Structure 1
Amino acid sequence: MADPHANAPGPIAANSVAAALRRACADDWAAYVNHAFVRRLADGTLATASYKHFLIQDYLFLRQFARAWALAAYKASDLREMRAASQTVDALINQELQLHVETCAGWGISEDAMAATPEARANMAYTRFVLETGLAGDLLDLLTALAPCVIGYAEIGARLAADPDTVWDGNPYREWLELYSGDAFQEVGRGACAQLDRIAQARIGGDVTQSPRWAELCRIFDQATRLEIGFWDMGLHRET
């Protein structure tokens, strides 16, 4: 089946495992990367209250995301992957979360206020799915569940940067657009794709799509993608 997203800008190489997974859930992927929340970020029309709600929940999400990457270090079978996972944990806890706190402070949201906010149901559903997948499966299962977040945000950033309808001047969300379309995050996305390829080859070898595990990997990736859609819905409608 042809990949309707094959020519989309972003980190996903045409012959990668991520590209094959994206093809397998093309409709849900399209709904994710073209969500109304994303479109309103791009044109600057997203309600401020929705963005603030999203920022708070994203802070809570990142804390659980760091736990998932700590689990990836435990699930790794060699030092190279243990180091990769531990570096991601360090980056999340000591860099990305701190940057997120600084961004939120600019919107009048303190870290204490975020930490005291209950996780929204969509947030809990997504993060617990990832952790449960990692606990029940191996590193490949866990990385497949994690992939739509990192790889998807990189693709969204690249798409919006290439879209002539994206508003930059006077857009209150320009910082978000610049972060995910920037070279640094695009490199993170490429790294995530490469890591998924390496682990798939190590665990399965050959043509991953012909493996008996392929259907389950597609299910995991599609479920995580649908939970990403739910996260956008949560932000847009300020669901708790």
Structure 2
Amino acid sequence: MLFEKLVKQNENLWLDYVNHEFVKQLESGTLGRENFIFYLKQDYIYLINYAKAYARLAINAKTPAELRFALKCQNELIQGELLLHQSILELGIDTAKFSAFDESVVNIAYSRYLMSVGESGDFLDMLVALSACAVGYAVIGKNIRRNLGQIPANHPYKEWIDTYSSSEFLKEADEFVAFLNSYENVVNEPKFQRLSEIFANVTRLEICFWQHGLKMELQ
């Protein structure tokens, strides 16, 4: 299957992403609150751009099925994850006061790379660019749920874990993988290598996103 082939070709990067030290500390509850807040702030900004990236995916659509899929994913993102982040950010961060200087360089690099793929490539290129985030968080959520079992009520990051390990979120990720895999028979070797390059880049950017959450670096 296409997605699985992309993961296999970039296995080391993928494992570094889903098993990152940030993820390990989040799972154990040892992640510093200031690190988590920094991450949430950056992720909130990122998710706004990520939602816009699905609009770019819709623009690249060539069939009604592609258009429906892009708009469905964008709607799920806006209704689900952004609402979660809004509620969590009430911990003391006023999102209405965010400015361009609140966005980290890593955040800028990631979101602008996504848009560049959509502008220079086709629907499938953009779909693959979006896949590391869409599927990776589900893998992470599932892994944490498996490792911890029942999440303790006093776990400091229970709400985050519950969101990304929920049956609804895992179902959305499975649907994303299935839709991406439906293109397998139309992908020749040169196209696969192009998709693999995109997948490697976005996975690297996901790793950088976790890492800058640990270091709390805007620059």
Whether the TM-score (by the shorter chain) exceeds 0.5 is: yes
Matched, 1:158 2:142: yes
| Rounded Cα–Cα distance in structure 1 between residues aligned with 2:47 and 2:148 | 31
**1:67-106 deviations in whole A, cap 9, x for unaligned?**
110011110111121122122223333443223211211x
Matched, 1:31 2:30: no
Matched, 1:127 2:115: no
Supply the AA of the counterpart residue of 1:76: A
Number of matched residues?
218
Equivalent residues in 2 for 1:126-205, closer than 5 Å: 126-164=110-148, 168-198=152-182, 200-201=183-184, 205=186
| Rounded Cα–Cα distance in structure 1 between residues aligned with 2:27 and 2:144 | 7
**1:131-175 deviations in whole A, cap 9, x for unaligned?**
101110001100111100010000011111111499634210011
Cα 1:138–1:116 change in 2 (3 A) is closer
Match of 1:73 in 2: 58
**Structure 1 gap segments, 5+ residues each:** 1-15
Match of 1:218 in 2: 196
| Rounded Cα–Cα distance in structure 2 between residues aligned with 1:168 and 1:117 | 37
Residue of structure 1 aligned with 2:73, choices 46, 65, 88 = 88
**1:109-138 deviations in whole A, cap 9, x for unaligned?**
222134565210111111111110111000
Equivalent residues in 2 for 1:33-48, closer than 5 Å: 33-48=18-33
| Rounded Cα–Cα distance in structure 1 between residues aligned with 2:84 and 2:154 | 22
CA RMSD, Structure 1 to Structure 2 (Å)? 1.8
Supply the AA of the counterpart residue of 1:119: E
| Rounded Cα–Cα distance in structure 2 between residues aligned with 1:189 and 1:95 | 13
Supply the AA of the counterpart residue of 2:204: R
| Rounded Cα–Cα distance in structure 1 between residues aligned with 2:207 and 2:3 | 18
SS of residue in 1 equivalent to 2:30: coil
| Contact map agreement 1:42 1:167 (CA 8 A) in 2 | no
SS of residue in 1 equivalent to 2:152: coil
Match of 2:205 in 1: 227
Supply the AA of the counterpart residue of 1:168: P
Cα 1:174–1:193 change in 2 (3 A) is same
| Contact map agreement 1:53 1:238 (CA 8 A) in 2 | yes
Aligned-pair identity in percent equals 35
Match of 2:214 in 1: 236
| Rounded Cα–Cα distance in structure 2 between residues aligned with 1:140 and 1:104 | 34
Match of 1:97 in 2: 82
**Structure 2 gap segments, 5+ residues each:** none
**1:39-74 deviations in whole A, cap 9, x for unaligned?**
011000001111001111111101110111001111
SS of residue in 2 equivalent to 1:213: helix
Higher normalized helix content (fraction of residues): 2
**1:190-237 deviations in whole A, cap 9, x for unaligned?**
011011112x24xx52xx4x5221111111101100000000011111
| Contact map agreement 1:60 1:115 (CA 8 A) in 2 | no
- Relative to structure 2, which stretch is displaced further, 117-126 or 33-42? 117-126
SS of residue in 2 equivalent to 1:46: coil
Matched, 1:55 2:33: no
